[in-house]
A and B are shown apart, each in its own frame.
Chain A
Amino acid sequence: MGQATQAPGSRTDPGVAGPGPAAGPASRVTLALRWLRLVAGVVPFGIYVTLGLLLPMIAVAVGAFQNNDGGFTFSNVSAATHGIYLKGFWQSIILSLLTSVIPGILGLLIAYAIFTAKRGKVLRQVAITAAGVFANFGGVPLAFLFIATLGSSGLVSQWLTSLGFNPYDHGFTLYSLTGVVVVYLYFQIPLMVLVILPALEGLRPAWREAAENLGARTWEYWRYVGGPVLLPSFLGCVLLLFGSALSAYATTEALTNGTIPLTAIQIGSFLNGNVIAGQENIGKALGLGMVVIIAIAMIVYVVMQRRAARWLR
């Protein structure tokens, strides 16, 4: 590349050369080089997306409409949108909404508390590190941890029982959707803290002081300035949590042994091979369903984001 920029006729750096009255062939070389430079930056990511996302998605989408002999059929999609599978979708969506919006708000509040802890720089660093650990703690160990504490004979449950309040007598069970929501909060809240903190740190103290100087009370600052400025990032973070919840699998599987119909677990059982012969491709139809849900979530996000961040364009 370094030598190519010294090409005859291109007296200036091709990056800055304008479309001036340079000789025809030389400027074409310059243009080609500039184009190459532009494209070169996105090539690795492009390859990654193609291999890791695009091709699998096409394979899933095609498979969803194929019977075992490779012929075209609607039966997989039809099966995936009825009965236990339809219920799985709904449960997954509800679970993901609950475990993205609730941790989204709680995580924002916690992040704000960390952000304003001016005095405790050490405390702050500890909190951020802890959030990093908790956000990545999942799967079977996490399920086990909860069974050992909030399970029917877990430590906390027994302690509460000894205080005269057995949660399992009051409709709570860890092995239900409510239980799964509680477990998800465990890693979703710290995840939210981690991803929203940089946005909070982007709020300039001068905005706060300017607002106050102009007569705004604290809530008015958040209503008119802090909130609107944070909203685009907040929406992005909640979308991230939504995706994380939708695809979380190991924790739930370990906790409920597949007793709760959730799409991710249903797809898992297809992958494990314990399916009735001739229905293998229903798994692909379910996968396609997940893609559609994420796509809808993305569209909702983009629309809200465009409204929230009008001032950025």
Chain B
Amino acid sequence: MTTNTTRDAATTAAGTGPVRAGGGTSVLLRDLTRAFGVTRALDGLSIEMAPGELVALLGPSGCGKTTALRIVAGFEIADTGSVLVDGKDISSVPAARRDMGMVFQSYSLFPNMSAQDNVAFGLRMRKIGTGGRRKRAGDLLDMVGLGPQAGQYPHQLSGGQQQRVALARALAIEPRVLLLDEPLSALDAKVRLQLREQIRTLQQRLGTTTLFVTHDQEEALSIADRVGVMSNGKLEQLAAPDELYTSPASAFVAEFVGVMNRVPGELRGGGMVTALGSTMPVRGHIPDETPVDVLVRPEDLTMQVVEHGNGIVTTRTFLGSVTRVGVQLDGDVAVQVDRPSAESAALAPGASVSVSLPGQPVLVATRRVS
């Protein structure tokens, strides 16, 4: 019985699947604060999400990502601030009436129900008849590639399969907003990659506005339309992945996203800084406390092989088209420099090199005492 219906559904659902009519939902988190005792989990967080957009929330452990998500879902109450969905304040709407699909980190499937019944649960709560439930649950399981596993219980499914069922379950209620709290963190690297692409494809097809919490920067940068980097309950920057990488708004973002070198610098008057022998303008905030470091990406440093340069090559790592070269600079400073692999034959460990800054505006941060 079950197998037949799902197999029929497979042929009809393949390719198209349920597509949302209309433009999707806009979401606004406005100035959210939440304290647990003395811990300020959220400290004035504001995020605006366009209809159909996927925003990833990225940040170190304990920065308040989960708290933000749970406030949107209605499991947690903000001390101040509000959440607006399509312009309406939903603060007083209970979680069960918010129409938000949530995928938890792991083990959230109801253990006493088959995959099919798990997916159909939200529809059952919405008083949809057995036939309609079964059809839609079947469609969704096919959509996540689990049609044949419809009758299995959660403990008979792998971790990746369970998370796909959880995703189907969240999508079954045609949520206005999809909330994902590190849905892939319990999975191994390969499954993680597959599932991440699957989530993105589905999300784009359905046009569901999605908030995706993760502490994996690669995941955030690859899946999201925009990435919000958080630290200490605040949003540091909300920008498209490439913008986040090329023009980070703060030293925190710069160092959290991608690889970043710190080179000792000296502030000059008039918003200038000197490092490695060149002087250039400071971009963004000028720190009050000295001494300072200049922040520069491996690909933004220039390097020549010279006798008696300012550094010695220590390591060389082949990364495909580029090779990452570790250099020990005078004054016990280690930096990484990317060079095209084709030009890095001479950069063997021990080679003397001269590393310099190209003179573009740079980010500057107070030096860390170590």
- Residue positions of A touching B, CB distance < 8 A: 204, 206-207, 209-217, 220, 224-225, 228-229, 311-312
Contact B108 A214 (CB under 8 A): no
Among A216, A224, A229, A311: residue with most chain B CB under 10 A: A311
Closest CB in chain B relative to A231 CB, distance in Å? 9
Q: Mark B15-26, 1 if CB is under 8 A from A, else 0.
A: 000000000000
Q: A207-B111, A214-B122, A216-B125 are in contact. List 5 more A-B contacts (CB 8 A).
A: A206-B108, A209-B73, A210-B108, A215-B173, A311-B153
A204 and B96 contacting across the interface, CB-CB below 8 Å: no
Most buried by A among B75, B111, B113, B173: B111
Q: Which of A207, A212, A213 has the most CB of B within 10 A?
A: A213
List, in ascending order, chain B residues with CB within 8 A of A312's CB. 111, 153, 155
23 contacts between A and B (CB under 8 A): A206-B108, A207-B108, A210-B104, A210-B108, A210-B169, A211-B110, A212-B75, A212-B95, A213-B73, A213-B75, A213-B95, A213-B96, A213-B102, A214-B96, A214-B125, A215-B122, A216-B96, A216-B121, A217-B96, A224-B124, A311-B111, A311-B113, A312-B155
Could you say which of B102, B112, B153, B170 contacts A209, with CB atoms under 8 Å apart?
B102
At the interface, yes or no: B357 with Cβ under 8 Å from chain A? no
**Cβ-closest chain A residue relative to B75:** A209
Known contacts A209-B75, A210-B102, A210-B104; A215 and B97 CB within 8 A of each other: yes
- Name the distance in Å between A81's Cβ and chain B's nearest Cβ: 41
Give the complex CA separation of A5 and B112 in angstroms: 42
Complex: chain A residue closest to B127, CB-CB? A215
Residues of B close to A216: CB separation below 8 A: 96, 121, 125
A20 to B68 alpha-carbon distance, docked (Å): 56
In Å, the complex CA distance between A224 and B125 comes to 10
Contacts of A211 in B (CB 8 A): 110, 121
Tell me whether A225 and B110 are in contact in the complex, defined as CB-CB below 8 angstroms, given that A209-B75, A215-B173 are known contacts: yes
A204 engages B125 (CB within 8 Å):
no
- A228/B102 in contact, CB under 8 A: no
Kindly state whether residue B126 has any CB partner on chain A within 8 Å: yes
A266: shortest Cβ distance to chain B, in Å? Answer: 43
* B265 in contact (CB, < 8 A): no
Residue of B nearest to A216 (CB): B125
Chain B residue contacts of A225, Cβ below 8 A: 110, 112-113
> What 8 pairs across the A-B complex have the smallest Cβ distances?
A214-B122, A215-B125, A206-B108, A228-B112, A311-B112, A213-B102, A210-B108, A311-B153
Question: Which B70-98 residues have C-beta < 8 A from chain A?
Answer: 73, 75, 95-98
Q: Does B101 contact A (CB under 8 A)?
A: yes
- Complex-state Cα separation, A213 to B170, whole angstroms: 9
Residue on A with the closest CB to B98?
A213
Contacts A215-B122, A220-B125; A210 near B97 (Cβ below 8 A):
no
Are B121 and A214 in contact, CB atoms less than 8 angstroms apart? yes
The CA of A125 and the CA of B100, in the complex, are separated in Å by 37
What A residues does B170 contact at CB under 8 A? 213
B108 x A224 contact (CB < 8 A): no
Q: How far is the CA of A311 from the CA of B157 in the complex (A)?
A: 12
Candidates B96, B108, B110; contact of A215 at CB < 8 Å: B96
Complex formed: what's the CA distance from A216 to B125 in Å?
6
Q: Which residues of A contact B75 (CB under 8 A)?
A: 209, 212-213
Q: CA of A216 to CA of B121 in the docked complex: distance in angstroms? A: 9
Q: Which residues of B contact A206 (CB under 8 A)?
A: 104, 107-108
In the complex, what distance in Å separates the CA atom of A216 from the CA atom of B122?
Answer: 8
What's the Cα separation between A214 and B155 when bound, in Å? 21
How far, in whole Å, are A204 and B154 apart by their CA atoms in the complex?
A: 14
Contacts of A215 in B (CB 8 A): 96-97, 122, 125-126, 173
The interface residues of chain A lying within 8 Å CB-to-CB of B122 are: 214-215
A121 nearest CB across to chain B (Å): 15
Question: B100 contacts which chain A residues (CB < 8 A)?
Answer: 213
Bound together, the chains give a CA A217 to CA B97 distance in angstroms of: 10
Chain B hits for A224, CB < 8 A: 110, 113, 121, 124
Residue of A nearest to B102 (CB): A213
B105 (CB) vs chain A CBs: closest residue: A206
Bound Cα distance from A227 to B282, whole angstroms:
63
By beta carbon, the residue of chain A nearest B94 is A212
Which of A204, A214, A217, A229 is the one whose CB lies under 8 Å from B112? Answer: A229
Complex alpha-carbon distance, A312 and B153, angstroms: 8
A215 to B173, CA, bound (A): 9
Q: Tell me the bound Cα distance from A228 to B117 in angstroms.
A: 14
A214 and B114 alpha carbons, distance in the complex (Å): 16
Distance, CA A216 to CA B123, complexed state (A): 10
Instruction: Tell me the complex Cα distance, A77–B97, Å.
Output: 64
Interface pair B107/A214, CB less than 8 Å apart: no
Q: Do A207 and B110 touch (CB < 8 A)?
A: yes
Q: What's the nearest-Cβ distance from chain A to residue B49, in Å?
A: 19
Which residues in B have their C-beta under 8 angstroms from that of A210? Answer: 102, 104, 108-110, 166, 169
